[in-house]
Amino acid sequence: MHHGTVKWFNNAKGYGFIVSESFEEDLFIHYSSILIDGYKTLKAGQSVSFKTSPGKQGLHAVDIMPEIDEDKTLHQHVNNEATASPKISVNA
């Protein structure tokens, strides 16, 4: 498994490129190779892990998984808890 960063990704066209220190060239990515549920998209600067497959014009990134930023996930969870409506129970 390799690691890299999304250089850019065009949602309308469903493709983009990854840069990785492991490779001299940018790696092509297609939305169908993104291993997430729901709408398959990536953002520029997002860290990803991936495998490679030869393509007609160079290597393609496949089996692409966005890497989870644990600090960001924890921060979002704390913010969600802080802004959630209080739970009120009414005893009859």
Residue 92 lies in a domain: no
- Counting the structural domains of the chain, the total is 1
88 part of a folded domain: no
Q: In the prediction, which pLDDT does 57 show?
A: 87
Between CA 88 and CA 81 the distance in angstroms is: 15
pLDDT, one tens digit for every residue, the chain (92 residues):
999 999 999 999 999 999 999 999 999 999 999 999 999 999 999 999 999 999 888 899 999 999 886 555 444 444 444 444 455 555 65
Contacts of 45 (CB under 8 A, 6+ apart): 5, 6
Q: Is there a domain that residue 89 lies in?
A: no
Classified as helix, coil or strand, 80 is: helix
CATH of the domain at 60: 2.40.50.140
Which residue's entry shows tokens 């066209």? 13
What pTM value is reported for the model? 0.71
In a domain, residue 52? The reply is: yes
pLDDT of amino acid 68: 80
Residue 35 lies in a domain: yes
Domain enclosing residue 41, as ranges: 2-83
28 within domain boundaries: yes
- Please indicate, yes or no, if residue 91 is contained in any of the structural domains: no
- Evaluate whether 51 touches 27 at the Cβ level (below 8 Å): no
